[in-house]
Structure 1
Amino acid sequence: MSEELNELPEGWSFSPIGDLCDLVNGRAFKPKEWSDSGLPIIRIQNLNNPDSKFNHFDGEYADKHLVRPDDLLFAWSGTPGTSFGAHVWKGELALLNQHIFRVLFPEEYLDKNYFRLAINHKLDELIQNAHGGVGLRHVTKGKFEATKVSIPPLNEQKRIVNKIESLQSRSQRAREALAEVEPLLEQFRQSVLAAAFRGDLTADWRAAHPDIEPASEYLNSLSSELGEIKTRRGVPRNVSYRTDFKYPAFPSSWHFASIGDFLHLGALLDVKDGNHGANHPKTSEFTETGLPFITAAQVRDFTIDYDGAPKVSGKPLEKLRVGFTELDDVIITHKGTVGRTAINTSTCVLTPQTTYYRCRQNCFLPQYLMYYLSSPVFQEQLSSVMSQTTRNFVPISEQYNLFLLAPPLQEQIEIVRILNEAIQRIRDTEIFTSESTLQLTQLDQSILSKAFRGELVPQDPEDEPAAELLARIQAARAAEQATQKKRTSRRKTKKSTGRT
């Protein structure tokens, strides 16, 4: 239901934005006009991001394009949710780029910050009526001017702004406090993983189980039992630990060896990435249904997004030769975004961005290996390999030379139990933080809705009614327009010097 159908408090009025102000569009500065000196050019990104770099202009300009501190501006073109909106300019003298209006109005009759908030309260309506597609849209001058906003008496406008700023200041402090939680949780996650793979988290468990067979003894007996293991071509054996890797501390009952050596021992059954070269499906060959084709983007937070993955079927699927996963394979991303891990729980095929690790589960628990591959011990090895190249890429040939820690199987079970509990606590906190942030956004929106319904601050019957205020605005604008007509129609241009 339109707000115009809602009853406004006594003394309030609705008004089209075009009856309150005049709009001046910015100049279409060409890249060849940019310079290293002169006045800064205000583009939409300079309104949305205070750290965004400015272009400058050192030439002739019209006075109407000169923006002064505290001018009201409206960005009317761009991406919904990021580009549109009214802003009070807090920078130095500058020049206005295209796709932004200077909003000129009689400031003695309309509070600037109230007007800014009132315009922004209508952004959803403006974007809904904007021209263009999903990505890039623009609000026409006519649609903007026809949009109606609620106008209270001038004194009440000021009371509303003060109240909103006070409440939003409190919600902003809460939002900033919540924003600090995420990096703290990541630090805690890494700290827990590091402690787990130093053996710190299971020190008491080892003391209570002194007779557990060391992993090295078990793996040696397994190797004797299995005999010579057939591996893929190129898998090295007897790999030496690289000197540029930091040697980890770990309990003496754990076994430390390369991925290549674990493959030759039989503790790992296979390590393989997805299809390269001519067999890799083209984008045009993906289908709505079929086998999920797992890229690095689908692996996040120890889970795999099968629904969001590209799908491959028919002849493109028949051409694939490698990368077919099995249940409980451990997946790691090794190209682009490197080092995310998850356990495979559904039939799928991997891209060249992802690798599966297939475990002999009486040697490596899949969950244990998933957590280990995410730990600082292993992630530092990945970083060292990537530091030798110009790409975020750790190929299979390099992964064979990376080292894994294998505790006794019973201790792996205890490590997984402890980490599952810790990771769940982290997830619960992340959910709480996300929900709290959403609630703050909803609270801010509720505050604005109440403000523009006249429910945020009390009305004062002594205030001049908005209808009279609007009449004053119309008279002031008419007088200004009359003055403009008396002036020469040809304005003198000015030279940009960086200051006026």
Structure 2
Amino acid sequence: MSEMPRRWTGATIEDVTHYVQRGKSPKYVPHSELPVINQKCVRWSGVDEAHLKYVDPSQWSAWGEERFLRDGDILWNSTGTGTIGRAAIFRGLTTAQRVVADSHVTIVRANGAVLPDYLHRLIQSPSVQSKLDDMQSGSTNQVELSKAEVLATPVPLAPLPEQQRIVAKIDSLTGKSRRAREHLDHIPRLVEKYKQAVLAAAFRGDLTREWRRRYGDIAPVAHEMALQRAELAQKYRQKHYDCNEVFVANGSEPFAVPTAWNWVRAEAICGFITKGTTPHASQLQSGTGDVPFIKVYNLTFDGSLNFTVEPTFVSRSTHEGFLARSRVLPNDVLMNIVGPPLGKVSIVPSDAPEWNINQAIAVFRTIPSVSAAFLAKWLLADDLVQWGVSRSKATAGQSNLTLAICRDLPIPLCSLREQQQITRRIDTAFTWIDRLASEATNAHKLIDHLDQAVLVKAFRGELIPQDPDDEPASVLLDRIRAERGAAPKGNQGRTKQS
């Protein structure tokens, strides 16, 4: 405080308030005409009325007049890990004329030496929030912000007109920050929208249009289908498909594709398509084990796999015995078939050991002339997901893709060389989009740091210039102290803790 501007003075919350008191815990009823503000109600932006509780009418008389909240009261959460230290300015309720606070909230009522908004911003600033750990007492889950600590909180007190200018400047700057956050909050939705636009362009042949013009000797897919059918029959011992079984029926294609492409059924390009099995709970191992057991929440919307969330395993004997049909191999394509949401897809890494999947996941194992990465990208596309959903049976809002639907999924198939080109171009575009999303996340963090820096500068007197005509804060504070000293004995002092 020794570095404060000339017309500022050092004070404490005790100096600048005439009422500091914890609320009372009442007997609650589902509803009454006397609401109670609790910790959940207290937000930096104000009071959230959705979490109000209510006092039993039989106890209304237990609240003295001073306990009813007044416009400008600061409500400071004073207990609870994660909520302690958060504060709001009370500006009245839309649902009631009178309201009280419970015992987890401290009411801080300013005197004329400080503006409520100025004090609220000070409580929000790093100079107070960074010291909360030192101000707390009690066990880990029962931490308390005592009345003594509240009263002793230092207040770098600016002249009253300067307080008004500081609050106005903070509001102006944080308003800009808020608008910036709102724009940044749209980025995740835009990222998904842009990715879907890339996928739509890719599987309509737009991303590789120039590539096809340059390499016009690429054989049409129709000519390659005979080889693919032979591979199916020889490698997987399945039947030969005739054209009616291989290709999607005319008129049911999701959209038009380039001349050299063909719409084919998923079953025609996969060695097999099946789904997993869920074993008995006794056969599952948490944390560590022999064979990873993949569940829906391990799949993602970007083709990767997240096995850091609740990793589950099965024993090797279970994997090779009861769950043999659920076994998946490197480069298998996995898709969740129970939603919402649908459209989560992952590829088993090429260097991964065998895994196991549950019954909410389907596995697609492509034949050698079809790229697993190409299929995985298509399964991520909204066009494919909506096609599957439109044919699924929904129960209580849940869509289930049957194996029949999975085997019938339409695939816009092009030559293997073009599949590889498409996959690379999608990956390049997604990397660029993800980089933008990462930069937006970093920008969000920078805005948070900027807001904190604004508060630090504000309470050092560095945010706005001082006005030499302002009455020094010490003069106003001395006058208030003198008025308090001259008040009748019954009106002197601070209300004691009940």
What's the TM-score once normalised by structure 2's chain length? Answer: 0.78
**Closer, same or farther in 2 for the Cα pair 1:195/1:124, shift >3 Å?**
same
Q: Do residues 359 (structure 1) and 366 (structure 2) align?
A: yes
Give the aligned partner of residue 249 of structure 1: 256
Query: Any idea what the Cα deviations from partners look like across 1:219-273, whole Å, max 9, x if unmatched?
Result: 2332235426457xxxxx9599899x883333343333443x23xxxx2234444
**Deviation (angstroms), 1:373:** 0.8
CA RMSD of superposed structures (Å): 4.1
* Counterpart residue identity of residue 108, structure 2: V
Query: Any idea what the Cα deviations from partners look like across 1:41-82, whole Å, max 9, x if unmatched?
Result: 544444438776365759744444543444332233456279
How far apart, in 2, do the equivalents of 1:239 and 1:362 lie? 15
Q: Do residues 374 (structure 1) and 380 (structure 2) align?
A: yes
* Counterpart residue identity of residue 305, structure 1: N
Range 389-398 or range 168-177, more displaced: 389-398
Range 318-327 or range 329-338, more displaced: 318-327
Is the 8 Å Cα contact of residues 76 and 85 (structure 2) preserved in structure 1?
no
**Closer, same or farther in 2 for the Cα pair 1:155/1:339, shift >3 Å?**
same
Among 166, 186, 191, the alignment partner of 1:180 is: 186
**Closer, same or farther in 2 for the Cα pair 1:148/1:415, shift >3 Å?**
same
* Counterpart residue identity of residue 183, structure 1: R
**Closer, same or farther in 2 for the Cα pair 1:427/1:458, shift >3 Å?**
same
Range 430-439 or range 10-19, more displaced: 10-19
Q: Do residues 20 (structure 1) and 25 (structure 2) align?
A: no
Is the 8 Å Cα contact of residues 290 and 311 (structure 1) preserved in structure 2?
no
SS of residue paired to 1:304: coil
Is the 8 Å Cα contact of residues 43 and 96 (structure 1) preserved in structure 2?
no
Give the aligned partner of residue 173 of structure 2: 167
How far apart, in 2, do the equivalents of 1:242 and 1:52 lie? 57
Give the aligned partner of residue 241 of structure 2: none
* Counterpart residue identity of residue 302, structure 1: G
How far apart, in 1, do the equivalents of 2:265 and 2:247 lie? 8
SS of residue paired to 1:101: strand
Q: Do residues 296 (structure 1) and 300 (structure 2) align?
A: no
Give the aligned partner of residue 104 of structure 1: 109
Identity of aligned residues (%): 26
Give the aligned partner of residue 91 of structure 2: 89
Give 5+ residue unaligned stretches, structure 2. 239-243
* Counterpart residue identity of residue 332, structure 1: M
* Counterpart residue identity of residue 74, structure 2: L
* Counterpart residue identity of residue 102, structure 1: I
Range 427-436 or range 163-172, more displaced: 163-172
Q: Do residues 151 (structure 1) and 157 (structure 2) align?
A: yes
SS of residue paired to 2:20: strand
How far apart, in 2, do the equivalents of 1:242 and 1:483 lie? 92
How far apart, in 2, do the equivalents of 1:17 and 1:27 lie? 21
Among 394, 402, 405, the alignment partner of 2:409 is: 402
Among 202, 219, 229, the alignment partner of 1:223 is: 229
Give the aligned partner of residue 425 of structure 1: 432
**Closer, same or farther in 2 for the Cα pair 1:437/1:81, shift >3 Å?**
farther
**Closer, same or farther in 2 for the Cα pair 1:315/1:25, shift >3 Å?**
farther
Is the 8 Å Cα contact of residues 86 and 119 (structure 1) preserved in structure 2?
no
**Deviation (angstroms), 1:443:** 1.1
How far apart, in 1, do the equivalents of 2:23 and 2:245 lie? 68
Give the aligned partner of residue 74 of structure 1: 76
**Deviation (angstroms), 1:160:** 2.0
Among 396, 399, 418, the alignment partner of 1:411 is: 418
SS of residue paired to 1:163: helix
Give the aligned partner of residue 117 of structure 1: 121
How far apart, in 2, do the equivalents of 1:24 and 1:470 lie? 21
Q: Do residues 338 (structure 1) and 345 (structure 2) align?
A: no
Is the 8 Å Cα contact of residues 392 and 402 (structure 2) preserved in structure 1?
no
**Deviation (angstroms), 1:213:** 2.6
Superposed, 1:315-330 pairs within 5 Å as 321=324, 323-330=326-333
**Closer, same or farther in 2 for the Cα pair 1:134/1:481, shift >3 Å?**
farther
SS of residue paired to 1:303: coil
**Deviation (angstroms), 1:371:** 1.3
**Deviation (angstroms), 1:114:** 0.8
SS of residue paired to 2:378: helix
**Deviation (angstroms), 1:433:** 1.2
Query: Any idea what the Cα deviations from partners look like across 1:289-327, whole Å, max 9, x if unmatched?
Result: 765544333433332234445153768976754544433
**Closer, same or farther in 2 for the Cα pair 1:461/1:479, shift >3 Å?**
same
**Closer, same or farther in 2 for the Cα pair 1:240/1:78, shift >3 Å?**
farther
SS of residue paired to 1:200: coil
How far apart, in 2, do the equivalents of 1:104 and 1:396 lie? 63
Range 185-194 or range 216-225, more displaced: 216-225
* Counterpart residue identity of residue 329, structure 1: D
Is the 8 Å Cα contact of residues 13 and 154 (structure 2) preserved in structure 1?
yes
**Closer, same or farther in 2 for the Cα pair 1:16/1:313, shift >3 Å?**
farther
How far apart, in 2, do the equivalents of 1:11 and 1:173 lie? 34
How far apart, in 1, do the equivalents of 2:249 and 2:110 lie? 70
SS of residue paired to 1:192: helix
What's the TM-score once normalised by structure 1's chain length? Answer: 0.77
How far apart, in 2, do the equivalents of 1:82 and 1:352 lie? 44
Count of paired positions: 468
**Deviation (angstroms), 1:357:** 2.7
**Closer, same or farther in 2 for the Cα pair 1:478/1:258, shift >3 Å?**
farther
Is the 8 Å Cα contact of residues 23 and 102 (structure 1) preserved in structure 2?
yes
**Closer, same or farther in 2 for the Cα pair 1:230/1:81, shift >3 Å?**
farther
How far apart, in 2, do the equivalents of 1:227 and 1:101 lie? 76
Is the 8 Å Cα contact of residues 26 and 101 (structure 1) preserved in structure 2?
yes
How far apart, in 2, do the equivalents of 1:335 and 1:230 lie? 29
How far apart, in 2, do the equivalents of 1:343 and 1:332 lie? 9
Range 110-119 or range 23-32, more displaced: 23-32
How far apart, in 2, do the equivalents of 1:135 and 1:359 lie? 53
Give the aligned partner of residue 497 of structure 1: none
Give the aligned partner of residue 50 of structure 2: 53
Give 5+ residue unaligned stretches, structure 1. 232-236, 490-500
* Counterpart residue identity of residue 76, structure 1: S
